[in-house]
Structure 1
């Protein structure tokens, strides 16, 4: 009996402490004019619920508090906006005090010069340097030939094998980018680079707790290792005096490049290019393979488009810009995949001053999570929203409507949009014209906080 009473007492004290901590955190963030909502635990906030429950957490909070509510996510007091009109306003008005507000973990690991961390004239300058590397002219003349050469090689000899398409598309996205950025082929440096990069990616969406064994610590250490590799590559190029026809070569030729960046800025820009393209390209490619498998009519239409392109060419002829512009249905498949899978759930902004939004006062320094996921399933914008229907995108007006936020919005719209679409299109071209495939089965998909198959997505591939 005494033991039971002791255990009961400990549990009761624990409950009292937990209740007191929750209450203290609510009182701490109770300020006149703030939106309704809950703040969760000190330091951790509601991050665990957000990462584990994802869309369910958001829907529950919206049901209780409406489309505009407060929370505490990824180490920051945050206001969540699920209102399409307000989201558009927030994304279009950076000049009015709504600057990028990405989590501290992301800013630390991607570097202080990355595009998500800077704003104003610095952002304009860094974005200009990036756009000069990935403009339509650069894609047409320099990048598409490299992408084509890489995809031919990467997709070689897959027939009669069971492959993990998630693993293959991750390798594809990273190795293709390394080839474009620094002419790096699959070899020693890429094998050293890849595991470090995967740790860096995991660290960017984590609580910024610098303790051994945390994703943040591993991600930050991976950044140091990657910076060391890139710095060594830059020093070797400076010493060799060779001319290199790749992104790094362009950034280092300051005599012919009006964007004269320091080595630190170049390194952070390269990490930004790798990071921003990696997840969207790899995940969209994987999910396109999944949706095409599940929708044979869509696959038939897509294959017809690519076989028609192939028929006009010799087997050894690469995909060129004119071929890419003919891939209208492929573009529609990519948009529909991105919409239905919701590769990007939303974007973060931060207030630079106290400001009024939606009738509430948001304090200076708070994050605003522009949660765009629900827009993707709005039946008023997308009839029968849960159906995989690429044909809806053949109406070009859908791509230009106000709530098209698959690639962000405003001055922060993804600058690599066209490059990413070109990579996925080229991948799909060689994949559907060379192979048939079927799922081995039993692989589970997760849709939040990132789209992934925890145990891989395995398919059996055969020649077409």
Structure 2
């Protein structure tokens, strides 16, 4: 009995010793001239500091301690290097598919079934990209046709959830709106009951995307996996409904339709699970990040009457030039230059997403250091977006930074990626956010109830109380 208790008490130490031995045997530890930094604890590395502190602080602390150019760490179970500053951004974006490829942390791999080769049919990343780009859904000329519907959905949401209210919580309403827009655009569906079922599940998935991949009841990862399964089940119903309508002659007019029609080189179609996983990824991207930008726009503008007045003037000019009931068009969007500058500043101050991962396809050398094949590369806007070297008075919301004729060094602020990796959804996001700003500004003036509300410190900023705001109705 005593021997059993002794062995049980020693088990954690034995496990740690074994892990350490295997870590020392890792050939990448023997690689010469690795970047400065620390891999932290075996397996966990520095994940806890990365997830439960502010990622921005995590990066800046290590830039000061190790190097302002490049450092190594271990986060989310992966040996990782962080490339810092504009030069790091440029190097990363200029070498996509040459030195680097996209990578999802394990917590994300479990959520997005399509990332795993779970089914018999596997569509390459290049083919997957063509599914989205070939119909041209995300190009401006295609989005022009969708803009009126986007405006119509936004107006209806304002009438249903905003008008007549003294106080609302901006973040939940922004999420409902963005999911409604994404479902209509990607799925061709605007069923309000379906959207209501999806919203809470998407929240859990978003939180689980950058969590410790320990899935047992009570953990963020467990809730996220349950939510992802529920979303895929709902999307399975949508896919079957879509296939039935297409069999009856419905034309392919949305991304889901073209994904259903897509084939691999041998002519085989994707499985329902693969389609659901890919569509879920698109919906997540078109949901949380856009809603976050909308919400923090209301937060910052609500605290700056001078900026609100300028946006109101611009949006009033757009509104008064329209006939009664006439929807927004492309020319109207082009007139919203100041409003877009404000949104850019909002995203600089509170990026909708802190960064993204890549994987090294081969050994490469950067800044005199060698990074082994298979290591992960993390890029983050936080190394530049609040650096006073590039943005004087960086904590100040200053839309004039982006006025015509003014410029800042390339790759200092890349909210939508850059170069070959410029997010294909940039124009979609711009239209969705500007349509929201137009509709909310022409209807309301607002006051933030908790102006100093703490901003969540995880990978995606979240207003802890939903950003309550008091509304004062007006009409322009």
TM class, shorter-length: 0.7 to 0.9
- CA distance in 2: counterparts of 1:228 and 1:399, whole angstroms: 46
Aligned with residue 138 of structure 2, among 134, 140, 161:
134
The 5-angstrom pairing of residues 249-260 of structure 1 reads 250-251=257-258, 254=261
- What aligned pairs does 1:7-406 form with structure 2 within 5 A after superposition? 27=24, 30-31=29-30, 32-54=32-54, 55-67=56-68, 68-113=70-115, 122-131=124-133, 132-141=136-145, 143-156=146-159, 157-240=162-245, 241=248, 243=250, 246-248=253-255, 250-251=257-258, 254=261, 262-264=270-272, 265-395=274-404, 398=407, 401-406=410-415
Name 1:3's counterpart in structure 2.
none
Larger mean Cα displacement after TM superposition, 440-449 or 78-87: 440-449
Q: Does the 8 A contact of 1:352 with 1:365 survive in 2?
A: yes
What are the Cα deviations for residues 101-157 of structure 1, in whole angstroms up to 9, with x where unaligned?
Answer: 22122133123359xxxxxx933322232132221111101x212211110011114
Moved more, 87-96 or 215-224: 215-224
- The DSSP-based 3-state class of the residue aligned with 2:181 is helix
Shift of 1:51: 1.5
Structure 1 consecutive aligned stretches of length 4 or more whose deviation exceeds 4 Å: 13-29, 252-255, 258-261
Residue 455 of structure 1 and its aligned partner are, at CA, apart by 2.3
CA distance in 1 between counterparts of 2:53 and 2:409 reads: 32
Q: Distance in 1 between matches of 2:48 and 2:64?
A: 19
Deviations 1:301-345 (A, max 9, x none): 111011001111123111111111111111111111111112232
Using the TM superposition, give the Cα deviation of residue 290 of structure 1 relative to its aligned residue in structure 2, in angstroms: 0.7
- The alignment covers a number of residue pairs equal to 444
Identify which range, 28-37 or 59-68, moves more after superposition: 28-37
SS in 1 for 2:286: helix
Corresponding position of 1:7: none
CA distance in 1, matches of 2:381, 2:437: 27
Deviates more, 1:261-270 or 1:403-412: 261-270
Report what 1:407 is aligned to: 416
Question: Are the counterparts in 1 of residues 356 and 378 from structure 2 also a CA contact under 8 Å?
Answer: yes
1:280 shift after superposition: 1.6
Which residue in 2 is equivalent to 1:9? Answer: none
Is the CA contact 1:439–1:460 (under 8 Å) kept in the aligned structure 2?
A: yes
CA distance 1:236–1:57, shift in 2 (3 Å): closer
Q: Distance in 2 between matches of 1:130 and 1:260?
A: 18
CA contact (8 A) 1:407 1:414 kept: yes
With over 3 angstroms needed to count, the CA separation of the structure-2 counterparts of 1:260 and 1:193, relative to structure 1, is farther
Cα distance change on mapping 1:133 and 1:194 into 2, 3 Å: same
Give the alignment's Cα RMSD to 1 decimal: 3.0
CA displacement, residues 44-74 of structure 1 (integer Å, 9 cap, x when unaligned)? 2111111122222222222221131111101
Displacement of 1:440:
1.9
Counterpart Cα distance in 1 of 2:413 and 2:218: 39
Distance 1:169 1:341 in 2: 16
Q: Contact (CA 8 Å) 1:86, 1:358: kept in 2 or not?
A: no
Matched residues in 2 for 1:318 and 1:189: separation? 26
Residues 398-457 of structure 1: CA distance to partner in whole angstroms, max 9, x if unpaired?
489343412112322211001101000000001000011112226322354321112221
Describe the superposition over 1:4-39 as per-residue Cα deviations: whole angstroms up to 9, x where unpaired: xxxxxxxxx999999979976875664332122122
Q: Output the CA distance in 1 between the equivalents of 2:12 and 2:233.
A: 48
User: SS at 2:466's partner residue?
Assistant: coil
Q: Which runs of 5+ in 1 are unaligned?
A: 1-12, 115-120
Question: 1: CA distance between counterparts of 2:321 and 2:217?
Answer: 57
- Which residue is 2:438 aligned to? 429
With over 3 angstroms needed to count, the CA separation of the structure-2 counterparts of 1:439 and 1:402, relative to structure 1, is closer
Secondary structure of the residue that 2:441 maps to in structure 1?
Answer: helix
